[in-house]
């Protein structure tokens, strides 16, 4: 199903893209509707009840094999009103950015943000979203192993960082 980019009732979406050699984090988020003079939004809950900052509402988060990542992003751009793709500025980002530029529609803007410390921030966010239970609560979060990839959380954080720059925050 193709989307009509002129439909103002449909929320605009962005994709956070955390590329990697073996896997990529991809997060589709609804962009907040804010006028320039509005105060900072305090954050909203995702469809699964997970709260993220800067008014980010998660539409979908997942980790995919790197070989499937570009096709996943392109498919989302064809099906949903994606206006921006946010990619981190890590070591392989130039390669991924070049691939995306070749296949993205002209209606999609590709932006790069600083991804410094985003993995550590995602680790902290994981434990906020999924608090430990039982005896594992006594182990400090920094010493616990995360049982799954967190590249999708990094992808959300990249969108949050981009939105913060759009609203004049640092």
Q: Which two tokens stand for residue 16?
A: 């956070």
The CB density around residue 80, as the number of other CB atoms within 10 Å, is: 19
- Reported as a single tens digit per residue, the pLDDT across 59-114 is 999 999 999 999 999 999 999 999 999 999 988 899 999 999 999 999 999 999 99
Of 48 and 11, the structure prediction assigns the larger pLDDT to 11
User: Is residue 108 a contact partner of residue 78, using CB atoms and an 8 Å limit?
Assistant: no
**How many independent structural domains does the chain possess?**
1
Percent of the chain with pLDDT over 90: 61
2 within a domain of the structure (yes/no): no
**The CATH number of the domain where 20 resides is what?**
3.30.420.140
Phi/psi at 103 (5° precision) = -120, -10
C-alpha to C-alpha distance for 143 and 97, rounded to whole angstroms: 34
Report residue 11's pLDDT band, with 50, 70 and 90 as the boundaries: confident
Cα 128 to Cα 8, 49, 52: the distances in Å are: 34, 12, 10
* pLDDT tops 50 at residue 1: no
3 within a domain of the structure (yes/no): no
Average pLDDT value for residue range 21-45: 68
58 within a domain of the structure (yes/no): yes
Which structural domain range is residue 51 located in?
13-33+41-166
Q: How many distinct helices (H) and strands (E) make up the chain? A: 4, 7
Average pLDDT value for residue range 133-143: 86
5 within a domain of the structure (yes/no): no
Task: Tell me the whole-structure pTM to 2 decimals.
Answer: 0.83
């Amino acid at each position: 199903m193709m989307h009509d980019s002129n439909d103002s009732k449909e929320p605009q979406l962005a994709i956070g893209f955390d590329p990697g050699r073996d896997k990529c984090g991809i997060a589709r988020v609804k962009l907040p509707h804010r006028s320039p003079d509005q105060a900072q939004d305090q954050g909203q809950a995702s469809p699964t009840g997970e709260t993220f900052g800067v008014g980010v509402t998660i539409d979908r988060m997942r980790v995919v094999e790197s070989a499937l990542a570009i096709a996943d992003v392109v498919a989302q751009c064809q099906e949903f009103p994606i206006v921006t793709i946010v990619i981190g500025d890590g070591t392989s980002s130039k390669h991924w950015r070049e691939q995306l530029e070749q296949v993205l529609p002209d209606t999609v803007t590709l932006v790069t943000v600083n991804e410094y410390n985003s993995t550590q921030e995602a680790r902290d966010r994981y434990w906020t979203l999924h608090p430990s239970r039982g005896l594992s609560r006594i182990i400090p979060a920094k010493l616990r192993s995360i049982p799954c990839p967190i590249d999708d959380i990094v992808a959300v954080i990249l969108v949050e960082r981009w939105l913060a720059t759009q609203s004049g925050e640092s």
